[in-house]
Amino acid sequence: MSSNHLRKQTWLTKYIPSLAWLRHYEKDDFNSDLFAGIITAILFVPQGIAYAILAGLPAQVGLYASILPPLIYAFLGTSRTLSVGPVSIAAIMIASAISAPELQAFGSPLEHAIILAAEGGLILLAMAVFQMGSLVKFISHPVLSGFTSGASILIVFSQLPHLFGVNVKPCGSDIACIVEQSLNLNPYATALGLFSFIFLLMMGKPLTKWLSRMDLRKTLVTGISRTAPLLTVVITTSLVSYFHLSSQHSVTIVGQIPEGLPDLDLFGMFDSANHWLALLPSAIFISVIAYVESVAIALVTANLRNQKIDNNQELIALGGASLASAVSGGMSVAGGFSRTMVNFSAGARTQLAMIIAVALLALALIFFTDQFTNIPKAALAAIILVAIMPLIKIKEIIHTFQFDRADAVTQTITLVAVLVLGIEEGIALGVLVTFIAYLRRSSLPHIAIVGRMPGTEQYRNILRHDVETWPRLLLLRVDENITFANIGFITDTITEKVDENSDIRDVVLICSSVSHIDMTAYEAIASLAESFSNLDIRLHLAEVKGPVMDKLSNMHIERDLHGGQIFFHTSDAVEQITQNNK
| Residue number with CB closer to a second copy (119 or 480) | 480
What is the smallest separation between the CB atom of 85 and a second copy, expressed in angstroms? 24
Complete DSSP assignment for 553-575: HHTTHHHHTTT--EESSHHHHHH
Q: Least distance to a second copy from the beta carbon of 127, Å?
A: 15
Torsion of CA 75, 76, 81, 83, to 10 degrees: -90
Nearest residue (CB) to a second copy, 12 versus 398:
398
Residues 242, 237: Cα–Cα separation, whole Å: 8
In whole angstroms, give the CA distance from residue 258 to residue 52.
Answer: 14
User: Which residue, 272 or 520, is less far from a second copy as judged by CB?
Assistant: 520
Least separation in angstroms between CB 98 and a second copy: 31
* Least distance from a second copy to the Cβ atom of residue 562, Å: 10
Minimum separation from the CB atom of position 198 to a second copy (A): 33
- Taking the C-alpha atoms of residue 295 and residue 463, their distance in angstroms, rounded to an integer, is 44
566-567 β-sheet, strand order: 459-461, 447-452, 473-478, 506-510, 538-542, 566-567
The rounded Cα 179 to chain-centroid distance in angstroms is 38
Residue 449 CB, nearest distance to a second copy (Å)? 15
Q: In sequence order, what are the beta bridge partners of 461? A: 450
Query: CB of residue 535 vs a second copy: minimum separation in angstroms?
Result: 5
What does the alpha-carbon distance between residue 381 and residue 47 come to, in Å, rounded to a whole number? Answer: 10
Q: How far is the CB of 130 from a second copy (least distance, A)?
A: 14
As measured in angstroms, the least distance from the Cβ of 408 to a second copy is: 8
Least distance in Å: CB of 514 to a second copy?
9
Q: Rounded to whole angstroms, how far apart are CA atoms 96 and 505? A: 65
Decide whether 74 or 309 has the Cβ nearer to a second copy. Answer: 309
3-state secondary structure of 149: helix
Assign 3-class secondary structure to 130-148.
Answer: CCCHHHHHHCCHHHHHHHH
Minimum separation from the CB atom of position 555 to a second copy (A): 5
Enumerate the β-bridge partners of residue 376. Answer: 253
CA-CA distance, 230 to 554, in Å (whole number)?
72
Closer residue to a second copy in complex, CB, 249/551 = 551
Question: Torsion-angle region of residue 140: left (phi > 0), alpha (psi -120 to 50) or beta?
Answer: beta
The secondary structure element, H or E, covering residue 101 is helix 101-104
CA distance 230 to 227: 5
DSSP letter assigned to residue 456: S
Of 14 and 141, nearer to a second copy (C-beta) is 141
Which of 473/517 has CB closer to a second copy? 517
CB 503 within 8 A of CB 536: no
- 500 secondary structure, DSSP code: H
Q: Least distance to a second copy from the beta carbon of 337, Å?
A: 16
Closer residue to a second copy, CB minimum distance, 196 or 411: 411
Nearer to a second copy, 198 or 519 (CB): 519
CA dihedral 295, 296, 298, 303 (to 10 degrees): 130
Q: What's the burial of 523, exposed, middle or buried (CB within 10 Å: 0-12/13-18/19+)?
A: middle
Nearer to a second copy, 111 or 523 (CB): 523
Nearer to a second copy, 249 or 460 (CB): 460
**CB of 439: closest distance to a second copy in angstroms?**
8
Contact between 332 and 325 under an 8 Å Cβ cutoff? The reply is yes
The whole-angstrom separation of Cα 543 and Cα 551 is 14
Residues near a second copy (CB under 8 A) are 2-4, 6-7, 134, 137-138, 140-142, 299-300, 302-306, 399-400, 402-404, 406-407, 411, 434, 438-439, 441-443, 445-446, 464, 479-481, 483-485, 487-488, 495, 498-499, 502, 513, 515-516, 518-520, 522-523, 527-528, 530-531, 534-535, 546, 551, 554-555
How far is the C-alpha of 435 from the C-alpha of 446, rounded, in Å?
19
Q: For 442, which DSSP code?
A: H
Residue nearer to a second copy on the CB measure, 247 or 501: 501
If the CB atoms of residues 263 and 479 are measured against a second copy, the closer one turns out to be: 479
Burial pattern 380-416, b for ≥16 Cβ within 10 A else e, equals bbbbbbbbbeebbbeebbeebeeeeebbbbbbbbbbe
